[in-house]
């Protein structure tokens, strides 16, 4: 509406100037100089009036946008004026100012809402730019790092030099584990990074989480499970020894007194010999069990070197070819890219893969389907190398999938329960991980992440 009235006023003024200009031309041609001078003065006043009108309108609009730019919410144009075009213009500018201020208030409320959520989050959050400036640090991050005002990662040197080095060298999608010590305790932290873009600026979002309680809970749970397995295995070995000892003791005593050698018969001697042989065998089993436990703690530090995944797979196929049932199983190998390589101790990684392939063969032998083992090597979205062994064997029930890596846990009659726990420990020494995904009677995949 305002632009319509202004438009009409400008048209009227331009038409008046046009008619006046024609009049000036007419009187000048007919040499009526007195009238020409009079008309010329009128024309000058009309032009000046148009210029002032346009400047007045432009100044008001410019003043409005300047106020908006300076976040001046108190600006208000008077609407009680006789000039209808000016009145409409003022109404429109006031309405536009109201809408802009409303949007700003809503944005501020939303910003405060998100800020409150970030402040109350149980994880620490930092945003860093390429120059190392910390643009955001929530309350949890400041508490974990024990630093109230965080503006640049250089300040982290005062907290922990190792932490500063770790965060300053973070790359997108990195995930690190570290610890810092304050006046009260040592805190275990996981640090993850994700790239984000705000406007045209590339930032790194750093996520810091205190995992002390989770580690304590998992450690306690692991010890409980380990003690349960240890107790079970030891009792299985000791119980027969105890029972046989009591049985043999009854042969050589009567009424709580030792019998004379002359009272023994040939049958008693045979029972004694057989009992002692069982005790010897159980003692050997118990010794082997202890030796197996010791092997978990004596794995040497990996001697890492560059190894092609294709070379690993070729050696695995050769080494596993002597296993029972190998000839009846189809092997598929997939490596992307073809020259995929890892930095690892070749002997230890072969030990892990050979154990997984051996388990896969044994699992397939328990079913009558056509056996298939797939060896895959590829990179994930975070550029980590994933080496996996997949089979279509019996599979692992969901309820025991979290127990198969516990030392001495086994579902096999002839198994020791050491293979998978040893493999997981080797991967841990490599700074990687070993995890399983299984759908019973369909597909089971063990993956090595390096």
How many structural domains are present in the chain? 4
Q: What is the mean pLDDT of residues 87-101?
A: 74
Residue 94 has pLDDT above 80, yes or no: no
Q: What is the mean pLDDT of residues 288-294?
A: 63
114 in a structural domain: no
Question: Rounded to whole angstroms, what are the CA distances from 233 to 276, 369, 407, 410, 420?
Answer: 20, 34, 11, 11, 17
Mean pLDDT of the chain: 77
Output the pLDDT for position 263: 67
Output the pLDDT for position 83: 65
Q: What is the mean pLDDT of residues 53-70?
A: 71
Helix (H) or strand (E) holding 374: strand 371-379
Helix (H) or strand (E) holding 429: helix 419-429
* Residue in this structure with the two tokens 């009272």, named with its chain if needed: 263
- Binning pLDDT at 50, 70 and 90, where does residue 216 land? low
234 and 355 share a domain?
A: no
Domain limit, last residue, from 108, 132, 163: 108
Q: What is the mean pLDDT of residues 366-372?
A: 75
Tens of pLDDT, residues 144-186: 887 788 888 888 888 888 888 888 888 888 888 887 776 656 7
The sign of the torsion formed by the CA atoms of 16, 17, 20, 25 equals negative
Output the pLDDT for position 218: 59
113 in a structural domain: no
Burial of residue 393 (CB within 10 Å: 0-12, 13-18, 19+) is: buried
Residue 313 has pLDDT above 70, yes or no: yes
279 and 370 share a domain?
A: no
256 and 354 share a domain?
A: no
Distance from the Cα of residue 263 to its chain's centroid = 76
Higher per-residue pLDDT: 422 or 389: 389
What angle is formed at CA 195 by the lines to CA 191 and CA 197, rounded to 5 degrees?
140
Output the pLDDT for position 297: 59
Output the pLDDT for position 1: 46
Contact indicator for 195, 172 with CB cutoff of 8 Å: yes
The domain that contains 196 carries what CATH number?
Answer: 3.30.450.20
Q: What is the mean pLDDT of residues 57-83?
A: 70
Output the pLDDT for position 81: 67
Residue 38 has pLDDT above 50, yes or no: yes
310 and 418 share a domain?
A: yes
Output the pLDDT for position 292: 59
Neighbour-count burial for 51-89, b at 16+ CB within 10 Å, e otherwise: eebeeebeeeeeebeebbeeeeeeeebeeeeeeebbbbb
Residue 327: which domain range? 305-449
Neighbour-count burial for 394-413, b at 16+ CB within 10 Å, e otherwise: bbbeeeeeebbbbbbbbeee
392 and 287 share a domain?
A: no
312 and 437 share a domain?
A: yes
The domain that contains 317 carries what CATH number?
Answer: 3.30.565.10
Output the pLDDT for position 186: 72
Query: Over pLDDT 70: what percentage of the chain?
Result: 77
Residue 336 has pLDDT above 80, yes or no: yes
32 in a structural domain: yes
DSSP letter string over 189-202? EEEEEEEEEETTEE
179 in a structural domain: yes
Residue 264 has pLDDT above 60, yes or no: yes
Output the pLDDT for position 368: 60
Measured between alpha carbons, how far apart are the two ends of the chain, in Å? 69
261 and 361 share a domain?
A: no
Output the pLDDT for position 294: 61
Contact indicator for 339, 365 with CB cutoff of 8 Å: no
Contact indicator for 296, 418 with CB cutoff of 8 Å: yes
Asked whether the whole model's pTM tops 0.85, one would answer no
268 in a structural domain: yes
147 and 265 share a domain?
A: no
């Amino acid at each position: 509406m305002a632009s319509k009235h202004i438009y009409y006023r400008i048209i009227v003024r331009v038409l008046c100037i046009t008619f006046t200009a024609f009049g000036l031309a007419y009187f000048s041609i007919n040499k009526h100089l007195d009238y020409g001078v009079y008309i010329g003065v009128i024309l000058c006043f009309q032009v000046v009036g148009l210029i002032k009108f346009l400047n007045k309108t432009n100044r008001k609009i410019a003043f409005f946008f300047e106020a908006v730019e300076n976040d001046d919410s108190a600006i208000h144009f008077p609407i009680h004026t006789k000039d209808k075009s000016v009145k409409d213009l003022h109404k429109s500018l006031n309405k536009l100012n109201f809408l802009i201020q409303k949007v700003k208030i809503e944005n501020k409320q939303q910003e405060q809402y998100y800020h409150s959520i970030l402040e109350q989050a149980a994880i620490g959050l930092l945003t860093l730019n390429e120059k190392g400036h910390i643009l955001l640090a929530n309350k949890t991050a400041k508490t974990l790092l024990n630093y109230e005002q965080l503006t640049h990662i250089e300040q982290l040197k005062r907290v922990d030099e190792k932490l500063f080095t770790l965060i300053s060298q973070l790359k997108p999608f990195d995930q690190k584990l570290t610890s810092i010590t304050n006046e009260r305790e040592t805190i275990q932290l996981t640090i993850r990074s994700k790239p984000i873009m705000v406007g045209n600026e590339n930032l790194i979002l750093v996520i810091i989480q205190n995992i002390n309680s989770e580690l304590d809970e998992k450690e306690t749970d692991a010890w409980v499970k380990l003690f349960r397995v240890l107790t079970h295995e030891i009792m299985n070995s000791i119980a027969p020894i105890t029972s046989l000892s009591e049985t043999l003791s009854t042969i050589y005593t009567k009424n709580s007194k030792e019998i004379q050698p002359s009272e023994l018969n040939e049958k008693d001697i045979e029972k004694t010999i057989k009992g002692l042989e069982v005790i010897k065998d159980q003692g050997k089993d118990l010794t082997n069990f202890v030796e197996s436990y010791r092997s978990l703690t004596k794995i040497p530090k990996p001697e890492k070197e560059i190894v092609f995944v294709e070379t690993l797979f070729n050696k695995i196929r050769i080494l596993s070819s002597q296993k029972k049932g190998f000839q009846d199983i189809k092997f598929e190998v997939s490596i992307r890219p073809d020259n995929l390589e890892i930095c690892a101790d070749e002997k230890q990684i072969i030990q892990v893969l050979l154990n997984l392939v051996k388990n896969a063969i044994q699992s397939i032998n328990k079913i009558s389907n056509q056996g298939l083992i797939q060896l895959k090597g590829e990179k994930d979205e975070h550029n980590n190398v994933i080496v996996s062994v997949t089979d279509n064997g019996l599979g692992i029930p969901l309820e025991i999938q979290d127990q198969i890596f516990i030392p001495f846990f086994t579902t096999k009659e002839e198994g020791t329960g050491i293979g998978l726990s040893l493999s997981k420990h080797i991967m841990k020494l490599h700074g990687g991980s070993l995890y399983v995904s299984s759908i019973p009677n369909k597909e089971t995949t063990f993956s090595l992440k390096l």
